Structure 1
Amino acid sequence: MEVSDRIEERDGIWRCGAWEETYPERLRCYEGMPGVLYTKGCLPQEEKKTVAIVGARACSPYGAHQAYTFAKVLAEHGVQIISGLARGIDGKAHQGALDGGGKTFAVLGCGVDICYPREHAQLESRILQTGGGVFSEFDLGTPPCAGNFPRRNRIISGLADLVLVVEAKAKSGSLITTSFALEQGKTVYAVPGRVGDALSEGCNRLISDGAGVAYSVEPLLEELKIPKGFPEDFREKNKIGLASQEEMVYSCLDLHPKNLEDIVREIPLSAREITGLLLKLELKGLIEEPVKNYYARTGG
């Protein structure tokens, strides 16, 4: 067999077939996997734990924060993150993995010579510069047609040890990924959301049907058999660096806006002191005031 038949390179893009050693071993055991993958950068390392993080494109600040945080902490523990480079949850998952010092990989619903969405060009560049990769089963030049995205989800789940759904409506493409994952015998986790919130309906139903509850990163680390915790020097390097009173106020908040009166009742400081601390946190970009006298953490 000619080398050109085995691996084709063009503009940093290379092609591997299912008959080659470079083809992901994890995909070989499933039916209906692509015969060829077009790749920029690297494919995931077989021996490393891998988590797929998927969810809504039009996600909420809560969902964006959760996707970013889960991906960052998992990456800090050496876990590879796979997603689809889409807007919303996918993009936040890739960003979190990169900021956690890990490697992340994107499976596209178009040719790898096309960056979709275009605003993620810089994100794709970061993925490639840090040892990750972008790949697709579709020929070069294939546009991002709607029908391509559900199809690529079987690759996302096939490469993962487990799948985490962060936010999903009742009828969501993310649920197609979980269907593939369950058929492949993979574990599925979902981040719980508020009852009545449309973006949480899919996740809450998954949990009701038996999916793992991702109330924090610990259950995922336990599932992956990865010890919890960080080295001391890592903790020191990643402290937010807030003064104790600022930390007290910051810890009182979450992603859902909280009224100033409620904050004052919970913190043993004067209203004037708390208002000043809220202003400092807002100037640091750690919190926001979406409505007058209501405060929430920013979304990561």
Structure 2
Amino acid sequence: FTSYGKRTALNISRYLARSGFTVISGLARGIDTFAHSGALEAGGRTVAVLGSGLDIIYPRDNEGLAEEIIKNGALVSEFPLGTLPLPGNFPRRNRIISGLSTGVVVVEAAERSGALITADCALEQGKEVFVVPGNIDSPYSKGCNKLIKEGAVLVEEPAHILQELGYDFSNDLGKGKTFTDLTVEEKELMKIITNQPLHIDDILASSSLSPQKLNTLLTIMELKGAVKQLVGKYFIKV
């Protein structure tokens, strides 16, 4: 991987996590590691799909990262406990990564990269493939640029991914709308919910409401156009 790939993977995963999406990757060294790390740094969820049994973390230097993922997501494997990380396991693992995903983002990929296998699986499963363009002189971008030539969606900034998937809420943020028909309780919630995605559990912890009451109020506020619910029970102020 390159410094460009690292920076881009972190930026995209942070953005998607803050937007309420779960970041799914394979816990491998490089781009996978940065994808998981970016989601965790943003306070979001991430899932790692392993090419080994759940009791064998590979690579070993990602054991600490795996522990953090367990706290804020999950480790997933189709292989029985005790299964070693054999080379043939990883292409099989990649089809699960794409299968669990709404879309697949390829940040860096050489001509013979596992990321290209994941992209192929995504296309077979009817999933969208997003690709970050790279330096034409970099071997780490050969696979990416090939996918773009073949029709993958070119990504210049993280918002392009959400727009392509139909989750474009960027134009609604920060407009500072004033709602005069909100109740006292709803106005109190508007002080908690901001322009940054906030999970319903965090809203509950910051309020004095019961879970049932909070769900009712959020539904009413969404109908009034005061808040918007994102994927994963995250809410933003409109």
Q: TM-score, normalised by structure 2?
A: 0.71
What is the aligned length? 176
> Residue 153 of structure 1 contacts residue 176 of structure 1 at CA under 8 Å; is this kept in 2?
yes
Q: Which residue of 1 aligns with 2:21?
A: 79
- Matches of 1:234 and 1:78, distance apart in 2: 13
Q: 1:216 aligns with which of 157, 165, 168?
A: 157
- Matches of 1:81 and 1:228, distance apart in 2: 20
What is the identity percentage for the equivalent residue pairs of Structure 1 and Structure 2? 49
Q: Which residue of 1 aligns with 2:147?
A: 206
Q: Which residue of 1 aligns with 2:129?
A: 188
- The offset of 1:100, in angstroms, is 1.3
Q: Which residue of 1 aligns with 2:30?
A: 88
Quick one: which amino acid aligns to residue 39 of structure 2?
A: A
1:140 is paired with a residue whose SS is coil
Alignment of 1:107-186 (within 5 A): 107-130=49-72, 132-186=73-127
1:142 is paired with a residue whose SS is coil
Quick one: which amino acid aligns to residue 125 of structure 2?
A: Q
- Matches of 1:196 and 1:61, distance apart in 2: 15
> Residue 66 of structure 1 contacts residue 166 of structure 1 at CA under 8 Å; is this kept in 2?
yes
Quick one: which amino acid aligns to residue 163 of structure 1?
A: V
- Matches of 2:23 and 2:170, distance apart in 1: 18
> Residue 221 of structure 1 contacts residue 228 of structure 1 at CA under 8 Å; is this kept in 2?
no
- The offset of 1:234, in angstroms, is 6.0
RMSD: 1.5
Q: TM-score, normalised by structure 1?
A: 0.57
- Matches of 2:195 and 2:37, distance apart in 1: 19
Quick one: which amino acid aligns to residue 216 of structure 1?
A: E
Quick one: which amino acid aligns to residue 202 of structure 1?
A: G
Unaligned runs of 5+ in 2: 177-193, 197-238
Offset from partner CA, 1:35-86 (integer Å, 9 cap, x none): xxxxxxxxxxxxxxxxxxxxxxxx1111011111100001000011100001
- Matches of 2:163 and 2:132, distance apart in 1: 16
Offset from partner CA, 1:238-293 (integer Å, 9 cap, x none): xxxxxxxxxxxxxxxxxxxxxxxxxxxxxxxxxxxxxxxxxxxxxxxxxxxxxxxx
Unaligned runs of 5+ in 1: 1-58, 236-300
User: Greater helix percent: which structure?
Assistant: 2
- Matches of 1:80 and 1:228, distance apart in 2: 19
Work out which of the two has the higher radius of gyration on C-alpha atoms and give 1 or 2: 1
